[in-house]
Amino acid sequence: MYGGLMVDAKKRRNYPMQVTAKNLFKLPDGRHPVAPNLILVVRGSSRSFVFRYTLAGKRREKSLGSANKITVSQAKELVEKFRVGLADGAAPITPKESLDKEIKGELTFEDYALETIKKIASVRMWRNAKHKEQWFTTVRAYAFPVLGKKKLSEIKKADILAVLEPLWSTKTETASRVRGRLENIFSYAVADGLMDFNPALWRGNLDRDLPPASKVQPVKHQEAMPLEELQEKIGCFYPATTRTKQAILFTILTASRVGESVPARWEEIDWENRIWSVPPERRKDQKPYPHRVPLSDQAIELLKTIEKKSEYIFGVSEKSLGGRYSLTPLLKKMTGTTATMHGFRSTFRDWAAENGVPDIVAEKCLMHTTGNAVVQAYQRSDLLEQRRKVMQQWADAVFSEVSSAA
């Protein structure tokens, strides 16, 4: 009989036992019922409450926390709340998860994107450091102005369209690349539980508002030459052995308009301060004072090679500038492309955006008016020294293939 009792005791240890506040920490290993849909899982010294439920036809389990942190009655209250939520089709979420989600919900796109790009680079094991930097510069240039300070939880499809629509017909390839990178970033946010839906998805989402990138015919007001192609073609006009080549190269290096650069006079060059002053009469924005253009090392070197035959650097006066646009046919003939002289300003603007140059600095480099009348009143500085650094970086980029070949 004694032996029989011992067998029964062993059997009892293998069967689940009803949990109470009194026996909570005395139960053997196993899964013990507490209440409908609620069990206590015991493994050694570990004891955790688990909610068992069915959602969308699938049986699921959710840990509610350690028995050292919540009581039996608290676990039962949570389960009761979960049941009510399940009746409305809502997945159960613990107070801690709710708090974590609320904290994470305060994350801005800017903060999350920067960290996520680092993670993507690590997971994909990009060998080329430039690849990661390209992601950073693209997102900073095109997405941050619209999405940067927004909370992840607030970002909708309309915000993504606000990023893409201004680019879709003019810079379709760039826009498509931006969309793809945003989709990748938001996919991590969805997986992290920070967003319920990826607003940058194409199929069934953005494809209802934007035409396929492959079918878009980009609108080109002035045919631009991509920087990579310019770097390859720079040998077409460097060394600058003719006035035409000199004028083309100077215009590219200063990101200026042909009507500003071609009739330039020697007296407009301040050699000591390395500045070219475009007089008011040649300013397209009609400002009543000269526009100062900081000259890069390459621009100064170019000017020093030009023989002074008249007061005009390139031998063309304003009066004889009727044929100023003749530079474009010559450019096309030299390079074998359809690029225009004015298009180099677009090349500069794209380069500036992709390299993190602030919009206001880039616009002032191009002699564009920025902001409304109030903003302009406060922008008394022409940001010369900031522009000086940018123009040197631009010249270095243009001549990068020449430098590497040397």
Q: What is the CATH number of the domain that holds 318?
A: 1.10.443.10
Say if 116 falls within a structural domain. yes
Residue that is written with structure tokens 């206001």 in the block: 360
Mean pLDDT over residues 377-394, rounded?
Answer: 83
For the beta carbon of residue 198, count every other beta carbon within 10 angstroms. 20
Q: What is the CATH number of the domain that holds 66?
A: 3.30.160.390
> Are 179 and 323 part of one and the same domain?
no
Tell me the pLDDT of the chain averaged across its residues. 83
- Domain holding 250, by residue range, is 227-405
**pLDDT tens digits for 138-157?**
899 899 999 999 999 899 99
**pLDDT tens digits for 251-296?**
999 999 998 999 999 999 999 999 999 999 888 877 889 999 999 9
Output DSSP code: residue 307: -
Say if 301 falls within a structural domain. yes
> Are 239 and 371 part of one and the same domain?
yes
**pLDDT tens digits for 67-105?**
888 888 888 888 888 877 776 666 666 655 554 554 455
How many domains would you assign to the chain? Answer: 3
> Are 259 and 400 part of one and the same domain?
yes
One-letter identity of residue 172: T
Domain boundary among 157, 181, 215: 215
Q: What is the CATH number of the domain that holds 207?
A: 1.10.150.130
Go through 340-375 and write b for each residue having 16 or more CB atoms within 10 A of its CB, e for each that does not.
Answer: bbbbbbbbbbbbbbbbebeeeebbbbebeeeeeeee
Task: Find all residues with CB under 8 Å of 38, minimum gap 6, and list them.
Answer: 49, 50, 51, 52, 75, 76, 79
Domain boundary among 58, 88, 118: 88
> Are 238 and 386 part of one and the same domain?
yes
